[in-house]
Amino acid sequence: MASCVSGCSSAMRFCQKLNRLKTLEDDVMATSLKRCLSTVDLALLGVGGMVGSGLYVLTGTVAKDTAGPAVVVSFIIAGVASLMAALCYAEFGARVPKTGSAYMFTYVSVGEIWAFLIGWNVILEYMIGGAAVARAWSGYLDSIFNHRIQNFTESHVMRWDVPFITHYPDLLAASILLVASFFISFGVRVSSWLNHIFSAISMVVIAFILVFGFVLADPVNWSAKEGGFAPFGFSGIMAGTATCFYAFVGFDVIAASSEEASNPQKAIPIATAISLGLAATAYVLVSTVLTLMVPWHTLDPNSALSDAFFRRGYSWAGFIVAVGSICAMNTVLLSNLFSLPRIVYAMAEDGLFFSVFSRVNPVTKVPVIAILVFGSLMAFLALIFDLEALVQFLSIGTLLAYTFVAASIIVLRYQQDKSTGSSGGIKSDTSSTPSLNQSGQQLDPSVAVNETQTFAQDSGEPKEYESFSDKLQLVERQKAVKERRAAGTLKACWEPYLGRILGDCEPGEVVAFSVLALMVSAVSFSAVLVFGTNQLHLPVWSFTLLLFIFSLVFLLSLALIWVHEQQPNHKTFQVPLVPFIPGFSILLNVFLMLKLSPLTWIRFTIWLAAGLLVYFGYGVWHSKEGLREQQGQEVAARYVVLPSGSLVETVQNVQPEGHTHNTHTPTLDNPPASR
């Protein structure tokens, strides 16, 4: 029996180790990187990250194979879902201005193992994103020379016919990634200026496409004669939406760069809003122009825009578009190669990934080793994989990151602010704060009255109130405490209705359970909606009943979260309408994930399994949070505070390890207030 209890306690401690949260330093602006990016720099970095191969290649691929002209609707839905996720990223980036993006946000609010898995997927997301852009870049350049590069490679180098692998090694795509990695390693200012140059050229070309494209537009291309506006139906629109998420990955680059922003509290939200608005507008308008210029079923998926101008007889315009697209793809390459090493650096800095990647060059102030190693890995992916396989695999990692960041926003909003009450205890003198308990939290007013009358002062005498004004001040303080309820507790207006049911729960406990129910109901609802009629062959009554039940659980979970108190407003940007915007972002992201192909899920599962091997083989044992916990336990073990008796009588000294255990435990007459 004793061994069973010991085993259970060991398992509990191990689970707590997996879910420990990251402790942020008091000065969150302190960093070994260089803070020099302005709002304009971040906005252009975001625009450059989003407006690239998605605009010049993905529009044609989705329009021809998935959605038809309704690719316009796919981009709108993807933009709305991305906006909800972008708001969550903007709040976190302003509130926690540390590199790491979704990994860091999950670490400070959900737990270590979840943060590692998100970071692991973000690494894959950036590697595949960069490789896909390099493939698109190579294809566009090859189209300018009438595919001579491809023909030469297949004839004189190599050609193979292997499933999921490109037919020939794309040496050009691999080379451009290696060259870009070299420039990125020179520092953040070099990367920023290169991004400015390429972004300016890209925006000029986009303006040209819109003006000249609308002149050549023909509404017949959306008519029933050519298959109609939505030839693949609603299912095709939603499948296209899942793929179109690749286009909006770029705003994550802004959050990943927050540790190098000069004023992240203001710059991150503003840059996110500007870049996402410009990118969404460009995607919708360009996809409209493209499908109006030529019939959607005749598009060339490798170089849709330039080929459309060529076919309308304006070869010179197609050349301009091809040159502009290459510049735009350069900005995406720079954004991916800029962000990926910083995610790796953040994980290595926390001890969850190999420490060699946390080294920062003292001159350039960038993690050079991480840049070169992962730039080479990205080049290898571009060398052997085709574009479509890369893009589909990318979407699932992006959607998962969005889901966890949205859930993290809800959890963080309803957590008690650790800055007001910490494990270190009361930070002010006990004689001047009679209404605080030993953990630094404000006591219930009814308890505070008794405590303030008997609490020992430095002199050892109980405090007495000698005048009516003293008592009046105490009453006012108690009234303020009532009005300022702790985060995670029931709102005062709901106390009479739900107090008996939820009043005994710890602050944040109901919210945590509701977030879990929210996630489960979102997955269940989406699974029934996606697979209910075709794969599961549910009858109509069963299909409708299940949708009603899961949607009811989803809405009740949101309602239970909403009736609790949030943290007080901070000076940084906050997502409006929490928990509704993050909640519906979770639902939409999960739905789009389930629309992806089974093969994508198989590849994703294999990558997750590899990540778990890395975490349990290295990360969990080298985590700096684990080392900090061990040091904290050594310090905390010197004193034991028992729940009974007064503070003076219950603080006892415990002999540290290595000393002879003495049965006599001396009592501290005047313990420090910080204990």
How do residues 595-644 score in pLDDT, each as one tens digit?
A: 777 878 888 888 899 999 999 999 998 998 888 877 765 544 444 444 44
Structure tokens at 164: 């999921």
Q: Residues 97-101: what's their mean pLDDT?
A: 84
- Count the alpha carbons within 13 Å of 379 in the hemisphere toward its beta carbon: 17
Contact between 347 and 100 under an 8 Å Cβ cutoff? The reply is yes
pLDDT at 124 over 90: no
Top pLDDT among 320 and 168 is at: 320
pLDDT at 443 over 50: no
Contact between 300 and 307 under an 8 Å Cβ cutoff? The reply is yes
pLDDT at 390 over 80: no
Top pLDDT among 50 and 164 is at: 50
Q: How confident is the model at residue 378 (pLDDT cuts 50, 70, 90)?
A: very high
pLDDT at 415 over 50: yes
Q: Residues 323-327: what's their mean pLDDT?
A: 83
Averaged pLDDT score across all residues of the chain: 79
What are the pLDDT digits (tens) for 67-96?
A: 889 999 999 988 887 888 899 999 988 888
**Per-residue pLDDT at 523:** 95
Q: Is the dihedral of CA 145, 150, 154, 156 positive or negative?
A: positive
**Per-residue pLDDT at 373:** 94
Distances 62 to 3, 300, 391 between C-alpha atoms, Å: 59, 11, 11
Distance CA 360, CA 200 (A): 30
Poorest-pLDDT segment among 13-17, 480-484, 530-534: 480-484
Poorest-pLDDT segment among 183-187, 412-416, 632-636: 632-636
pTM over 0.85: no
Top pLDDT among 262 and 394 is at: 262
Distance CA 555, CA 296 (A): 40
Poorest-pLDDT segment among 327-336, 528-537, 660-669: 660-669
- The single residue listed with the structure tokens 């928990």 is 579
The H-or-E segment that residue 586 falls in is: helix 580-594
- Count the alpha carbons within 13 Å of 322 in the hemisphere toward its beta carbon: 22
**Per-residue pLDDT at 557:** 95
Distance CA 429, CA 432 (A): 6
**Could you give phi then psi for residue 436, rounded to 5 degrees?**
-110, 145
| CB burial readout 280-294, b (16+ within 10 A) else e | bebbbbbbbbbbbbb
Poorest-pLDDT segment among 229-243, 338-352, 415-429, 629-643: 415-429
Q: How confident is the model at residue 586 (pLDDT cuts 50, 70, 90)?
A: very high
Q: What amino acid occupies position 180? A: A
CB-neighbour burial class of residue 656 (10 A; exposed 0-12, middle 13-18, buried 19+) = exposed
Among 467, 466, 463, which Cα is nearest to 453's?
463
Beta-carbon contacts of 67 under 8 Å, excluding residues fewer than 6 positions away, are 73, 74, 230, 232, 236, 237, 239, 240
Q: How confident is the model at residue 543 (pLDDT cuts 50, 70, 90)?
A: very high
Q: How confident is the model at residue 392 (pLDDT cuts 50, 70, 90)?
A: low
pLDDT at 563 over 60: yes
Measured between alpha carbons, how far apart are the two ends of the chain, in Å? 36
Is residue 442 classed as helix, strand or coil in its secondary structure?
strand
pLDDT at 522 over 70: yes
Q: What amino acid occupies position 317? A: A
Poorest-pLDDT segment among 54-58, 206-210, 630-634: 630-634
pLDDT at 516 over 90: yes
Contact between 60 and 290 under an 8 Å Cβ cutoff? The reply is yes
Q: Residues 138-157: what's their mean pLDDT?
A: 76
Among 48, 387, 372, which Cα is nearest to 196's?
48
Is residue 652 classed as helix, strand or coil in its secondary structure?
strand
pLDDT at 426 over 50: no
pLDDT at 397 over 60: yes
Tell me what percent of the residues of the chain surpass a pLDDT of 70. Answer: 80
Whether a cis peptide bond, with omega within 30° of 0, leads into 579 is yes
**Could you give phi then psi for residue 38, rounded to 5 degrees?**
-90, 180
**Per-residue pLDDT at 524:** 95
pLDDT at 594 over 60: yes
Rg (CA), the chain: 29
Q: Residues 353-377: what's their mean pLDDT?
A: 91
Top pLDDT among 398 and 61 is at: 61
Structure tokens at 115: 């943060």
**Per-residue pLDDT at 145:** 75
Top-ranked range on mean pLDDT: pick from 31-45, 240-254, 371-385, 443-457: 371-385
Poorest-pLDDT segment among 128-132, 141-145, 359-363, 508-512: 141-145
Q: Residues 435-440: what's their mean pLDDT?
A: 38
Which residues does residue 652 pair with via DSSP β-bridges, in sequence order?
Answer: 640, 667
pLDDT at 556 over 90: yes
Q: How confident is the model at residue 436 (pLDDT cuts 50, 70, 90)?
A: very low
C-beta neighbour count of 166 within 10 angstroms: 19
**Per-residue pLDDT at 661:** 44
What are the pLDDT digits (tens) for 467-486?
A: 555 555 655 555 555 555 78
Poorest-pLDDT segment among 187-201, 575-589, 625-639: 625-639
pLDDT at 121 over 80: yes
SS percent in the chain: helix, strand, coil, step 5: 70, 5, 30
Is residue 639 classed as helix, strand or coil in its secondary structure?
strand
Q: Residues 260-283: what's their mean pLDDT?
A: 90
Distance CA 617, CA 28 (A): 30
**Per-residue pLDDT at 120:** 92
Top pLDDT among 478 and 109 is at: 109
**Per-residue pLDDT at 671:** 44
Q: Residues 434-456: what's their mean pLDDT?
A: 40
Among 587, 64, 533, 522, which Cα is nearest to 297's?
64
Is residue 564 classed as helix, strand or coil in its secondary structure?
strand
pLDDT at 209 over 80: yes
**Per-residue pLDDT at 323:** 80
Top pLDDT among 572 and 618 is at: 618
Q: How confident is the model at residue 465 (pLDDT cuts 50, 70, 90)?
A: very low
Q: Residues 650-654: what's their mean pLDDT?
A: 42
| CB burial readout 136-163, b (16+ within 10 A) else e | bbbbbbbbbeeeebbeebeeeeeeeeee
Q: How confident is the model at residue 393 (pLDDT cuts 50, 70, 90)?
A: low
Q: 460 — alpha (psi -120 to 50), left (phi > 0) or beta?
A: left
Among 292, 301, 329, which Cα is nearest to 61's?
301
Beta-carbon contacts of 167 under 8 Å, excluding residues fewer than 6 positions away, are 154, 159, 160, 161, 386
